[in-house]
A and B are shown apart, each in its own frame.
Chain A
Amino acid sequence: MTEDLLHLGLHDLHLSLGGRMVPFAGYEMPVQYPSGVMKEHLHTRAAAGLFDVSHMGQVILRPKSTMQNLCLAFEALMPVDVLGVLTGRQRYGMFTNEQGGILDDLMFANRGDHLFVVVNASCKVADIAHMRQHLSDEAAVITVTDRALLALQGPAAEAALARHLPEVAAMRFMDSRILIWREHEVWVSRSGYTGEDGFEISISDAAALEFANALLAEPLVQPIGLGARDSLRLEAGLCLYGHDIDLTTSPVEAALTWAIQKSRRSGGDRVAGFPGAEIILEQLDNGTERRRVGLRPEGRAPMREGTLLFDLGGTPVGTVTSGGFGPSVDAPVAMGYVAESFATPGTQLLGEVRGKRLPVVVAPLPFHPTTYKR
């Protein structure tokens, strides 16, 4: 099982904390610690959870001419307004292909004289090649390979982190700052993927263990594994690449239209000019045949990825793409794609679980209210 799997810089820390290690995106990752997925999930919502997400790709794009030219080149890969992101701010985006599908979703920050990009682990090799291929005229594409990435998430995250980095208390959702901790540069954003207020912190491998231990020494901070990360992001209605979004789903089908700013849409001053623009803009204007929705099974049985969905007459209408038990909702929750005419919250459907068709209702997302500090 461990052959060819990469180890995180904090691998030994995870073992010493009792982490149960599993293969994920080519890495050996802690799926849970001794307290278990349920308690870890609830702890993150009630206090603060520390996640090691160092498997994700960290990339710096340094302009060869001007920041404006770099931002415009980056916009050519995404249906997203990059130029309008102010210094010290971060934004969500996604690389699209010519068919309007999603190559990956990502976060990028304007750090004044360069962009800092964080991409999914499972896509990072392809993403970096993609950026090198398309951005080389305007940017040096620098992969950051000597830094850990930690996420501290939950209502107690600000107080816990501010004891070590007082400046973070003044940050708001999607702010991005370069700060100094014990002479080490730390790259902090007020963001995450749990639906909670919190931070992501990039820190050099040399200082990561000391920093992680400093955070774990905070009374309200517990280490949290991948299992709870998945249930937290599902309750928050956030997509997992390779499951809820992929090459076959457009941002419009994926209900990510909020991430496509006006400037890139019909009538905007930088309309189109990204891969798949014709398809994506047409879908924005005229709708799509299917859409990602929230799903609430009415019984207690979880409806997991791959569960087929039917209308009450038995006609197939869609598929679950992520599903499980939501500890904070205290019920099973799922997301999936359904035909547009069944995408209205409240629509009754059936999901096939072990040969039985069980009631499930289309529900608004998120399942659990988000608490971002805007």
Chain B
Amino acid sequence: MKFTKDHEWLRVEGDLVVVGITEHAATQLGDVVFVELPEIETMVAEGDEVCVIESVKAASDILAPLDGEIVEVNEKLVDNPSLVNEDPMGAAWFFKMRLDDLSALDALMDEDEYADLIG
């Protein structure tokens, strides 16, 4: 599993990567009450705002972690946003994307590096 400084995780699944937010991010956000997902078959660039996530406290964006195409989204989050708090690292994945360059993953943090980041 790889991690970004924006507290997203990426898990390779065949030729796709699955993207979600970390346990740390979910805790910081608090109770999630609304999730807006991107359209599938959208080409995104690293840093693009692709999802909106609203907690009881505030709205935040989820950014595209790398360049690529959104190929699948987790509709379960729309009906049950609290899944993000219950299982952020598993069932509450946000979207799957096909990276332009799978090797771009190498530049992201591994679990130890991410653990250091959040202290």
Contacts known (A301-B54, A325-B54); A38 close to B31, Cβ less than 8 A: yes
Q: Closest CB of chain A to B12's CB: distance in Å? A: 31
Contacts of B59 in A (CB 8 A): 302, 304
CA distance A324 to B33 in the complex (A): 9
Whether A324 contacts B56 by the Cβ 8 Å rule is yes
Contacts of A32 in B (CB 8 A): 30
**Considering the complex, which residues of chain B in the window 43-60 have a beta carbon less than 8 Å from any beta carbon of chain A?**
52, 54, 56-57, 59
Closest partner residue, chain B, to A38 (CB atom): B31
Whether A325 contacts B34 by the Cβ 8 Å rule is yes
Whether a CB of chain B sits under 8 angstroms from the CB of A300 is yes
Contacts of A37 in B (CB 8 A): 30-31, 56-57
Closest partner residue, chain A, to B56 (CB atom): A37
Whether B30 contacts A36 by the Cβ 8 Å rule is yes
**Considering the complex, which residues of chain B in the window 4-63 have a beta carbon less than 8 Å from any beta carbon of chain A?**
30-31, 33-34, 36, 52, 54, 56-57, 59
CA distance A358 to B36 in the complex (A): 13
Contacts of A227 in B (CB 8 A): 30, 56-57
Contacts of B56 in A (CB 8 A): 36-38, 41, 227, 231, 324-325, 327
CA distance A37 to B27 in the complex (A): 12
Closest partner residue, chain B, to A22 (CB atom): B57
Whether a CB of chain B sits under 8 angstroms from the CB of A182 is no
Whether a CB of chain B sits under 8 angstroms from the CB of A374 is no
Contacts known (A37-B56, A227-B56, A325-B54); A300 close to B34, Cβ less than 8 A: yes
Q: Indicate the size class of the contact surface on chain A.
A: 10 to 19
Main secondary structure of the interface of A (DSSP, over half): mixed
Q: Closest CB of chain A to B58's CB: distance in Å? A: 8
Q: Which of B30, B57, B78 has the most CB of A within 10 A?
A: B57
Closest partner residue, chain A, to B78 (CB atom): A300
CA distance A240 to B10 in the complex (A): 41
CA distance A52 to B8 in the complex (A): 35
**Considering the complex, which residues of chain A in the window 296-316 have a beta carbon less than 8 Å from any beta carbon of chain B?**
300-302, 304
CA distance A352 to B53 in the complex (A): 17
Contacts of A302 in B (CB 8 A): 33-34, 54, 59
CA distance A38 to B56 in the complex (A): 7
Q: Which of B33, B59, B85 has the most CB of A within 10 A?
A: B33
CA distance A304 to B36 in the complex (A): 16
Nearest first, the 5 closest Cβ-Cβ pairs linking A and B are A38-B31, A325-B33, A37-B56, A300-B34, A325-B56
Q: A301-B36, A301-B52 are in contact. List 17 more A-B contacts (CB 8 A).
A: A36-B30, A37-B31, A37-B56, A38-B33, A39-B31, A227-B56, A300-B34, A300-B81, A301-B34, A302-B33, A302-B54, A324-B56, A325-B33, A325-B56, A327-B31, A327-B56, A332-B34
What would 22 A/B residue contacts be, using CB atoms closer than 8 Å? A31-B57, A36-B30, A37-B31, A37-B56, A37-B57, A38-B30, A38-B31, A38-B33, A38-B56, A39-B31, A41-B56, A227-B56, A227-B57, A300-B33, A300-B34, A300-B78, A301-B54, A302-B59, A325-B33, A325-B56, A327-B56, A354-B52
